[in-house]
Structure 1
Amino acid sequence: MITCHLRYIIDPHKLAGFEAYGRLWIRLVEKFGGKHHGYFMPSEGTSNVALAMFSFPSLAAYEDYRKRSFDDAECQAAIAMNEKDRFIISYERSFFRPVFDDDQGIKRAP
Structure 2
Amino acid sequence: MITCHLRYIVDPYQLPAFEAYGKLWIRLVEKFGGKHHGYFMPSEGVSNVALAMFSFPSLAAYEDYRKRSFDDPECQAAFAMNEKDRFILSYERSFFRPVFEDDQGTRRAP
Q: How high is the TM-score relative to the length of structure 1?
A: 0.94
- Where do 5+ consecutive residues of structure 2 fail to align? none
Query: What runs of 5+ residues in structure 1 fail to find an aligned partner?
Result: none
Q: Which amino acid in 1 is paired with 2:47?
A: S
Shift of 1:107: 7.2
- 1:88 is matched with 88
* Residue 29 of structure 2 corresponds to residue 29 of structure 1: yes
Q: Aligned pairs, how many?
A: 106
Q: Return the letter of the residue paired with 1:57.
A: P
Match of 2:79 in 1: 79
Note the aligned Cα RMSD (angstroms): 1.2
Superposition map of 1:33-72 within 5 A:
33-72=33-72
CA distance in 2, matches of 1:107, 1:48: 33
Contact 2:9 2:88 in 1 (8 A): yes
CA distance in 2, matches of 1:27, 1:89: 23
Q: Which runs of 4+ in 1 moved over 2 A?
A: none
Residue identity in the other structure for 1:80? A
Q: Distance in 2 between matches of 1:61 and 1:107?
A: 18
Residue 14 (str. 1) matches residue 14 (str. 2)? yes
Q: Measure how far apart 1:102 and its partner are.
A: 1.2
TM-score normalised by structure 2 residue count: 0.94
